Structure 1
Amino acid sequence: MNKVDKKILQLLQKDGRLTNADLSEKVNVSPATCHRRTSQLFKDGYISETRAIIAPEKVDRSTLVLVGVVLDRSTQESFASFESAIKKFSFILDCYLVAGDFDYFLKVRVKDMAGFNKLHSSQLLDLPSVRQLRTFFVMKEVQDNAPLSF
């Protein structure tokens, strides 16, 4: 990966809707070269996907909740069972296996606290191998999904 490739990645992180013509102009290469390089970045896995970021408040999902999960045992089977179950819930945006006091952290978007309470009691508590859930309601999103710097 050279300087042009890095510049393409940086620009696309800021605006994934840039046309090839605009992108090629900004990185100072021909449109054909820019298209070839961008295609290669996708092929090589530097860019995994492109998608729109939806404003949560516009779709009634303005409440962000982080959930710390402790499993009742630390075995490959309990981790696999939990991870399989988590992938079935569309309200869970992210799930991270972590080191420390928790086994996992979940990032959840819901309409409001009452909506989370319903999910908590009807779905999260029923997840396999869960011993404890600790809930953190986000009061202010200071930075979310910032571009990677390299």
Structure 2
Amino acid sequence: MNPEPVDLDAVDRSLLRLLQEDGRRTTLDLAARVGLSPTGASQRVKRLFRDGFITAVRAVLNPAKIGRGMLVFIEVRLDHAAPHIFDRFAEAVAKAPEVLECHMVVGGFDYLVKARIAEMADYQDFLKRVILPLPGVKETHTYASIGDVKPDALLPV
């Protein structure tokens, strides 16, 4: 079991939980919820940003409303284990706007790609245009999501 980060006290953890739930909370609201003055809450939040505990605040969009309703996961196996192939693959996949996440993994394949497309009819084009031309791609297996069980989970703090 991993030890708890030593730089966070109960107030910091409360602030992190509250901001994960709603990043638009005002300083006044945060202060009231954690029992600090607005200045104290503001200073804490600034420190959490400065120390890298909070890395961004952004809006969570409805994928279907912007034409990205289909979520797919793609296992990718590369044909070589050479470092330059992995580097070229990572550089190329980072440029693909459909790709939300890409993780290098251990196991039966090399990368797990998470992508959003309009609908399944567009998937073949996405595969041919984006995934298969990537450097070193030998094999892919795709899994289409048919329902969100726990999307965008909050981190426990």
> What is the match of residue 93 of structure 1?
100
Identity across aligned pairs (percent)?
Answer: 36
> What is the match of residue 15 of structure 1?
22
Hey, what's the Cα distance between the residues in 2 that align with 1:76 and 1:9?
Answer: 37
> What is the match of residue 109 of structure 2?
102
Question: How far off is 1:117 after superposition?
Answer: 0.9
Unmatched segments (≥5 aa) in structure 1? none
> What is the match of residue 127 of structure 1?
134
Normalised to the residue count of structure 2, the TM-score between the two structures is 0.93
Unmatched segments (≥5 aa) in structure 2? 1-7
> What is the match of residue 149 of structure 2?
142
Secondary structure of 2:55 counterpart: coil
Question: How far off is 1:122 after superposition?
Answer: 2.1
User: Is 1:32 matched with 2:39?
Assistant: yes
User: Is 1:6 matched with 2:6?
Assistant: no
Hey, what's the Cα distance between the residues in 2 that align with 1:139 and 1:113?
Answer: 11
Question: How far off is 1:123 after superposition?
Answer: 2.2
> What is the match of residue 113 of structure 1?
120
How many residues matched?
Answer: 150
Hey, what's the Cα distance between the residues in 2 that align with 1:76 and 1:45?
Answer: 29
Which string of whole-angstrom CA distances, capped at 9 and with x for unpartnered residues, describes residues 73-116 of structure 1? 11211110100000111100000011101100000100111111
For 1:105, give the aligned amino acid.
Answer: L
Normalised to the residue count of structure 1, the TM-score between the two structures is 0.98
Hey, what's the Cα distance between the residues in 2 that align with 1:123 and 1:55?
Answer: 23
Secondary structure of 1:94 counterpart: strand
For 2:15, give the aligned amino acid.
Answer: I
Hey, what's the Cα distance between the residues in 2 that align with 1:98 and 1:145?
Answer: 20
Hey, what's the Cα distance between the residues in 1 that align with 2:68 and 2:129?
Answer: 18
1:43-122 equivalence runs, <5 A: 43-122=50-129
Which string of whole-angstrom CA distances, capped at 9 and with x for unpartnered residues, describes residues 19-75 of structure 1? 011011000100000000000000000000010000001111110000000000112
Secondary structure of 1:133 counterpart: strand
Greater CA drift, 91-100 or 116-125: 116-125
